Amino acid sequence: MKDSITVDELAAMLRGGVSRVRRDLDLLTRLDSAIGDGDHGLAMQRAADAIEAALAGGAGSLGDLLSRVGWEVMSIDGGSTGPLLGSLFLGMSDGAGPAASLDRDQLRALFEAGLNGLRGATGAKVGDKTLMDALIPAVDAIAACPAGADIPACLAAAAEAAERGAEATRPLRARFGRARNLGDRAIGHLDPGAVTVSLLFRGFAEALAPLPPPRDPESEENPSHGR
Ligand SMILES: [Mg+2]
């Protein structure tokens, strides 16, 4: 039963998230080309580079590590991606404090602090077709994780919730970002930011334990089968 994570394990989770995102940069570009300006794959490549640069600086405390990650990501050139993801990681660093390791409750508090950090940067809620559609259910899943579940199981539940949340953006109109201007034409497309969050959480979870394969996010991107 794994019921705490160390700084090194958190770094491994971040590397897992980065590596999962890197495998799907082309997907993120295609999704953003459909309803945005097509730069999200490039922005996430820069964010991935920034996270890895921050991780290469050595661990220190959890809070120091997440703060370095947050500031590096905040400073990338990539539209809204840097400030939004940067706020998530800086919020997480506030939630980590000086701890050398986290138990389950502290991990929940860490992600809740990250969500609060992001809430300082965007007013988007579930249903607005943004990254929040994946992040809020993921953080809720960690908070709702049953008492007997260990940390890898809680992160797996978060990854599944984020994937369902990203998938749920498909029928929505957008209420934020460029996609808002598309009105009904955004319907039928996944939100790229929500998909990014689902990839990050899958990578976080897979860094601690294997997961069953995800749904293909593009399997219904071409709405030809009976809808
Ligand atoms: Mg864009």
Nearest CA to 13 out of 200, 177, 164, 148 is that of 200
174 residue type, one letter: A
Say how far apart CA 10 and CA 204 lie, in whole Å.
8
DSSP type of residue 174: P
The answer to whether residue 127 sits within a structural domain is: yes
225 found inside a domain = no
Overall domain count for the chain: 1
Averaged pLDDT for residues 83-99:
92
C-alpha dihedral sign at 73, 118, 129, 37: negative
Task: With a cut of 50, say whether residue 224 has pLDDT above it.
Answer: no
pLDDT value for 124? 97
**pLDDT band, residue 220 (cuts 50/70/90):** low
Residue located via tokens 């955004």:
186
What is the whole-number distance in angstroms between the Cα of residue 32 and the centre of ligand 1? 6
Q: Give this prediction's pTM.
A: 0.94
Q: Which pLDDT score is estimated for 155? A: 97
Domain that holds residue 198: 4-206
pLDDT-derived band at 223, boundaries 50, 70, 90: very low
What distance in angstroms lies between residue 97's CA and the mean position of ligand 1's atoms?
33
- Is 211 inside a domain boundary? no
**CA separation for the pair 182, 17 (Å, rounded):** 30
C-alpha of residue 168 to centroid of ligand 1, in Å: 20
Evaluate whether residue 219 is within a structural domain: no
Inter-residue contact 32 to 39 (CB < 8 Å): yes
Find the 187 Cα to ligand 1 centroid distance in Å: 17
How many angstroms does the Cα of residue 125 sit away from the middle of ligand 1? Answer: 19
CATH number at residue 70: 1.25.40.340
Whether the per-residue pLDDT at 34 is higher than 60: the answer is yes
